C-alpha cells in the first residue's frame, strides 16, 4: 500500500493533534515524593503569613505609649518581667514600664505594640531584677511583623501544572500540604521496529546496529515529565508489528513506534495502522528532519510513528509528542519556549522546508546567540548530547548568514509557551 502523502505545516499538525488532547489526571502524594512532579492543584495560602504578629528581631516587647518621654537626654527604664523564645508564648501581660524579652520570630505578647531591638538598650540588673534603659521614642507597631502582611489566607500562590521546585516545596510545607495533588505521569510506550536492531547488551554483528533511538526517546519522555515504558524491538513483519502495537496501546496513554514509516518495502507501519483501524492524522510534515513522522488516532489515543533516523526521531518527539505530554501534566504552556537569538555562523544550505537544527544557545554579554551543531558529518551522531535548543530556519530559496536574527526552541526549559 502506497499512501498519498500531503505535507502539513507544523502548526497545522498541532492543530489536528489538539483535537485529541485529554485532560490529565491527578493523584495525591506525600510532600517527600513531589520532586520532578507537576502540581495537580493550585497552592492556596491556608493561613495568614505571619500567622500571628511577631518580632523580626531579638529584642524587648513593650507598650509604645510608655516611650513618649524617652530621648537622648532622658532614658526610660523598663522592668523585664519575662523572657520567651521562638515557639513559646507568655501568659504575662506587661503593665506600664514593663518589657518582655523576645527572640526573632516570637509572637508579640498580648498588650505590647512595639519591639525595641536589643542593640538599642542598656541592660542592667538590680535587686535580682532585670531592667533595660531606652533613649528613644517608639511608634505603635514599630518592629512588628503583622499577621498576614506577607500573605493573606486564601491567596492563590502557585497554579496547577507548575513543576516542583525548592520555592514551591517551602510553600507546601508552610501551609501544611503534607499531601498534595500532582498530575499523574502519562504513560508513554516505546516500540522499536527494524530487523537490524540489536539490544544494548548484544555484541555488534555484521550489518546490525544497537537500538539507540529507543533509549534516546525514553529519556526525552522522562525529561518531559512522563513515564516511559519500553516494549522492546519488534521484527519487520506485519503480524509482529500489528500484535505488538495492539497490545501496547491498551496499556499506555500514547504509543511511540520508531522506524517503519518510510516508503520502503519493509515499512509496514502504514499497513498496520490501516488494519488497526487507526485514523491517520498526518504522515508527511513540511519540515526537515522528521518529514515522514506519522501520527494516528487509535481509539482516542495518539500513535506516533517516528522516523528511525535519530535526528528526525528526536525532533518529531519534541515538536509533536512533548506538547501533548505537557498538556496531560496540566500545563497551560505546553509548547517549547521560543526565543530570538543571533545566528553566530553562516548557514548557506538552502531548503524549501522549515528546518529544525539542533543547536547550542548561549549568552554573550547581554545578548543571546545560537550556534547550529552537528553540521559536520563527523559529529552528527553525538551533537545531540550537546544540543540545548532547536534552531528554526524557515524554508525558502536563500541560506542564512551570521548575525541574522533567528528563532530557537529551548529543549531544557520548564516554563514553556502557549504556542510554537
Looking at beta carbons only, is 68 or 156 nearer to a second copy?
156
Query: Which residues touch 256 (CB under 8 Å, ≥6 apart)?
Result: 188, 189, 190, 191, 217, 221, 304, 306, 317, 321
211 binds a second copy (CB under 8 A): yes
> Does residue 1 belong to the site contacting a second copy (CB under 8 A)?
no
Residue 70 or 341 having the CB closest to a second copy: 341
* SS3 assignment, position 283: coil
Helix axes 238-249, 269-276, angle to 10 degrees: 50
CB of 72 to a second copy, least distance (A): 25
Residues 11-50 that bind a second copy (CB under 8 A): 31-32, 35, 47, 49-50
**Could you say which of 40, 194, 323, 372 contacts a second copy (CB under 8 A)?**
194
385 contributes a contact to a second copy by CB under 8 A:
yes
Burial of 101 (0-12, 13-18, 19+ CB in 10 A): buried
Whether the link from the prior residue into 50 is cis, omega within 30° of 0, is: yes
Cell 512588628, located at residue: 144
Asked if 396 touches a second copy (CB under 8 A), the answer is no
CB of 31 to a second copy, least distance (A): 6
Stretch that binds a second copy, among 63-71, 193-201, 240-248, 283-291 (CB under 8 A): 193-201
* Cβ at position 97, least distance to a second copy in Å: 23
Question: Is residue 161 a contact partner of residue 43, using CB atoms and an 8 Å limit?
Answer: no
* Choices 19-27, 128-136, 160-168, 393-401; region in contact with a second copy by CB under 8 A: 160-168
Residue 96: burial class (beta carbons within 10 Å; 0-12, 13-18, 19+)? exposed
> Does the footprint of a second copy cover residue 393 (CB under 8 A)?
no
| Residue matched to cell numbers 500489528 | 242
Position among 37, 63, 132, 236 found at the interface with a second copy (CB under 8 A): 236
Binds a second copy by CB under 8 A, chosen from 98, 143, 184, 220: 220
Shortest CB 130 distance to a second copy, Å: 13
Of 128, 203, 277, 300, the one binding a second copy (CB under 8 A) is: 203
Please select the residue that binds a second copy; options are 52, 97, 242, 420, rule is CB under 8 A: 52
Question: CA distances (Å), 206 to each of 2, 202, 243, 297, 337, in order?
Answer: 31, 12, 28, 37, 43
**What residues numbered 57-86 form the site for a second copy, per CB under 8 A?**
58, 83, 85-86
Task: Candidates 121-129, 214-222, 346-354, 390-398: pick the segment binding a second copy (CB under 8 A).
Answer: 214-222
Contacts of 365 (CB under 8 A, 6+ apart): none
In 94-238, beta strands by DSSP E? 98-102, 114-117, 121-126, 129-134, 156-158, 179-183, 187-193, 197-198, 209-210, 227-234
Interface stretch with a second copy, choices 91-99, 132-140, 165-173, 291-299 (CB under 8 A): 165-173
Q: How far is the CB of 104 from a second copy (least distance, A)?
A: 6
Q: Is 394 in the site for a second copy (CB under 8 A)?
A: no
Q: Which of 13, 218, 261, 328 binds a second copy (CB under 8 A)?
A: 218
| Region near a second copy per CB under 8 A, out of 68-76, 150-158, 269-277, 293-301 | 150-158
Work out whether 414 is an interface residue with a second copy (CB under 8 A): yes
CB 393 within 8 A of CB 354: yes
- Which residues from 81-120 bind a second copy, rule CB under 8 A? 83, 85-89, 103-107
- Cα dist from 343 to 170, 246, 389, whole Å: 40, 45, 13
Residues 6+ positions from 183 with CB-CB distance below 8 Å: 24, 25, 26, 37, 38, 39, 40, 161, 225, 328, 329, 330
Smallest distance, a second copy to C-beta of residue 407, A:
10
Out of 25, 210, 284, 301, the only residue in the binding site for a second copy (CB under 8 A) is 210
- 133 forms part of the interface with a second copy (CB under 8 A): no
Which set of grid coordinates corresponds to residue 398?
536563500
Residues 305-364 that bind a second copy (CB under 8 A): 308, 310, 314, 339-342, 363
Question: Site residues for a second copy, window 277-316 (CB under 8 A)?
Answer: 308, 310, 314
Residue 2, interface with a second copy (CB under 8 A)? Answer: no
**Closest residue by Cα to residue 188 from 328, 293, 307:** 328
Three-state DSSP string of 18-43: HCCCCCCCEEEEEHHHCCCCEECCCE
Amino acid at each position: 500500500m502506497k499512501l498519498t502523502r500531503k505535507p502539513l505545516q507544523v502548526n497545522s499538525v498541532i492543530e489536528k493533534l489538539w483535537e485529541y488532547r485529554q485532560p490529565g489526571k491527578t493523584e495525591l502524594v506525600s510532600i517527600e515524593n513531589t520532586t520532578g512532579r507537576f502540581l495537580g492543584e493550585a497552592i492556596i495560602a491556608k493561613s495568614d503569613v505571619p500567622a500571628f504578629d511577631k518580632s523580626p528581631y531579638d529584642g524587648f516587647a513593650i507598650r509604645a505609649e510608655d516611650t513618649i518621654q524617652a530621648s537622648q537626654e532622658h532614658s526610660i527604664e523598663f522592668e523585664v518581667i519575662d523572657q520567651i523564645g521562638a515557639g513559646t508564648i507568655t501568659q504575662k501581660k506587661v503593665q506600664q514600664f514593663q518589657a518582655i524579652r523576645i527572640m526573632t520570630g516570637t509572637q508579640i505578647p498580648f498588650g505590647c505594640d512595639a519591639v525595641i531591638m536589643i542593640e538599642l538598650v542598656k541592660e542592667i540588673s538590680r535587686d535580682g531584677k532585670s531592667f533595660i534603659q531606652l533613649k528613644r521614642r517608639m511608634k505603635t507597631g514599630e518592629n512588628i511583623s503583622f499577621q498576614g502582611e506577607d500573605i493573606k489566607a486564601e491567596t492563590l500562590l502557585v497554579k496547577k501544572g507548575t513543576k516542583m521546585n525548592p520555592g514551591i516545596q517551602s510553600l507546601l510545607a508552610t501551609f501544611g500540604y503534607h499531601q498534595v495533588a500532582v498530575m499523574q505521569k502519562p504513560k508513554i510506550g516505546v516500540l522499536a521496529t527494524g530487523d537490524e536492531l540489536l539490544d544494548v547488551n548484544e555484541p555488534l554483528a555484521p550489518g546490525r546496529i544497537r537500538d539507540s533511538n529507543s533509549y534516546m526517546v525514553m529519556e526525552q519522555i522522562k525529561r518531559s515529565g512522563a513515564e516511559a515504558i519500553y516494549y522492546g524491538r519488534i521484527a519487520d513483519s506485519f503480524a509482529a508489528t500489528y500484535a505488538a502495537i495492539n497490545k501496547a496501546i491498551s496499556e499506555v496513554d500514547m504509543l511511540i513506534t520508531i522506524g517503519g514509516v518510510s516508503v520502503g518495502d519493509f515499512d509496514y507501519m502504514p499497513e498496520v495502522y490501516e488494519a488497526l483501524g487507526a485514523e491517520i492524522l498526518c504522515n508527511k510534515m513540511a519540515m526537515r528532519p522528521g518529514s515522514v513522522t506519522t501520527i494516528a488516532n487509535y481509539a482516542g489515543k495518539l500513535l506516533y510513528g517516528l522516523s528511525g533516523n535519530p535526528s528526525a526521531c528526536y525532533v518529531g518527539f519534541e515538536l509533536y509528542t512533548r506538547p501533548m505530554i505537557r498538556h496531560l501534566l496540566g500545563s497551560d504552556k505546553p509548547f517549547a519556549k521560543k526565543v530570538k537569538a543571533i545566528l553566530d555562523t553562516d548557514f548557506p544550505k538552502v531548503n524549501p522546508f522549515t528546518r529544525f537544527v539542533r543547536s547550542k544557545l548561549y549568552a554573550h554579554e547581554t545578548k543571546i546567540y545560537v550556534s547550529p551543531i552537528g553540521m559536520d558529518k563527523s559529529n552528527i551522531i553525538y551533537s545531540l548530547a550537546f544540543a540545548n535548543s532547536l534552531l528554526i530556519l524557515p524554508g525558502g530559496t536563500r541560506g542564512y548568514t551570521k548575525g541574522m536574527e533567528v528563532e530557537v526552541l529551548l529543549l531544557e526549559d520548564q516554563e514553556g509557551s502557549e504556542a510554537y
